[in-house]
Copies of this chain bind each other. A is one copy, B any other.
């Protein structure tokens, strides 16, 4: 197999305009189009995820492999990893994306020992480094998989066994070293096993303290090696464990404050994880911005009627428009991007399904961005918002907030008040959004 023969095409996917019906052409994603003073590509900063696209074989809890990828069978592990890298970089080229992201074990086989694993990772890092010299693609972030191996079944940093904690340190060090070397813009932590299956065997306080210590050391190390990007925590409420410590944005914010990590650790927010925690994607993004801990986005979608992580490709233009509207209000991404933490369905077994899924979702995001830009230019949402809170611009109101006026004084003044409610205008605002998307 060559990587070319896998995809059966050599020309990168290109912009063809809104009227095109070619599933392998962009209808809205026009990378050089200017949006609020920046190229569309520079706004959206798309990233392909190595794990779902190249490492997942199509299995689920009730069924095995469906994809039968050539690089998953019948070869020496490191050799297959190289084949996989060829296909991956070919896909980055075909999709013309500016970024990718990976876990250590996605790209390099685990060895018998930590040393062997580290060695394997270095081999692949060398290969990536070389490939990246001639490729456009950059590394959005790297991370370590601390959840698949059975040694982590009861947690990594939060394991009852301190040797597992130590092992996780060893693995993360290798992963952030590799990320740093490849110029990664961020380093991500997803605590898939940092949580519990049952409280009957769990000392939650102790485990949180372990996690706090782990993150503090990682921050120190990041500074030491001069890694300038942020550490990102990715919240998820449940799955694989019954309950995870990084439940949602608010929970992680509580954790970061308690262990004094808000300056160095930000959040990588995912749509599917948001809804599993009972929040809209938009809510989680706004909450992160409100508390100064926004980092990056894992872009996908969950199924509102299912209770697990389906990680489908994002296709909802309206949802993206609202999130990108918030992004644009804050000036857009700094180190973050839109990382496709999304997997094609296990029945989508053709190689071009991989391309088509990315293309369709990139188009949905691009439409969202254009709608967000238009709404922002027209002040379609921002103006009604400002007007709604205009009363707080008065002197009396400001004095209440600043602390100038105190409780008793306000209570006294309240005796002469009879405030009347005003319409929240929800349906009108929903109609307005519909006119833009």
Contact = CB atoms under 8 A, between A and B. Distances in A.
B114 A322 contact: no
Nearest to A253: B254
A425 interface: yes
Interface in A49-65: 58, 60-65
A197 B61 CA distance: 15
Contacts of A434: 315, 317, 360, 363-364
A250 B23 CA distance: 36
Contacts of A282: 199
Contact of A151 (B239, B286, B353, B419): B419
A36 interface: no
A165 interface: yes
B275 A305 contact: yes
Contacts of A360: 427-428, 430-431, 434
Contacts of A243: 279-280, 283, 305
Contacts of A160: 388-389, 391-392, 422
B347 A423 contact: yes
Interface stretch (A90-98, A203-211, A226-234): A203-211
A205 to B, nearest CB: 4
Interface stretch (A70-78, A179-187, A216-224): A216-224
B200 A426 contact: yes
A126 interface: no
Contact of A278 (B68, B238, B349, B391): B238
Q: Which of A68, A287, A317 has the most CB of B within 10 A?
A: A287
Contact of A113 (B193, B403, B415): B415
B166 A410 contact: yes
Interface string A415-437: 10111111111111111111100
Interface stretch (A38-46, A131-139, A393-401): A393-401
Contacts of A248: 250
A300 B60 CA distance: 21
Nearest to A202: B385
A414 B304 contact: no
A13 interface: no
A277 B275 contact: no
Given A275-B305, A305-B275, A426-B200, A419 B347 contact: no
A344 interface: yes
Interface stretch (A2-10, A80-88, A142-150, A331-339): A142-150
A315 B306 CA distance: 22
A201 B305 contact: no
